[in-house]
């Protein structure tokens, strides 16, 4: 499971990247109109954070995006 830095606040039971990935993978992509990820903070570089986000939502994006 990914290790996350604390956000400015926390939400009990909030989703971490591994759980969010599983959650989104269970929904047929054609049933998803949009996704908003807020308060996403990770230790490390911006490139690593972007790679994690793309890993989570990449399967929902049209091919070639």
Assess if residue 63 is contained within a domain: yes
pTM of whole model > 0.75? Answer: no
> How many Cβ atoms are within 10 Å of 45's Cβ, its own excluded?
9
Nearest to 40 by CA among 15, 12, 65, 13: 15
> Into how many domains does the chain fold?
1
Q: What pLDDT score does 10 carry?
A: 66
Token code pair at residue 44: 């490390």
Q: What does the block give as tokens for 30?
A: 């054609």
Query: Does residue 38 fall inside a structural domain?
Result: no
> Is 61 inside a domain boundary?
yes
The answer to whether position 19 is within a domain reads yes
Range of the domain at 21: 14-25+43-65
Tens digit of pLDDT for each residue in 3-48?
A: 555 556 667 777 778 888 888 888 887 888 887 877 666 767 888 8
């Amino acid at each position: 499971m990914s290790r996350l830095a604390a956000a400015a606040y926390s939400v009990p039971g909030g989703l971490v990247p591994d759980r969010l990935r599983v959650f989104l993978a269970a929904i047929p992509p054609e049933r998803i109109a949009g996704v908003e990820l807020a308060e996403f903070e990770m230790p490390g570089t911006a490139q690593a954070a972007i790679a994690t986000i793309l890993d989570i939502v990449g399967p929902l994006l049209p091919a070639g995006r």
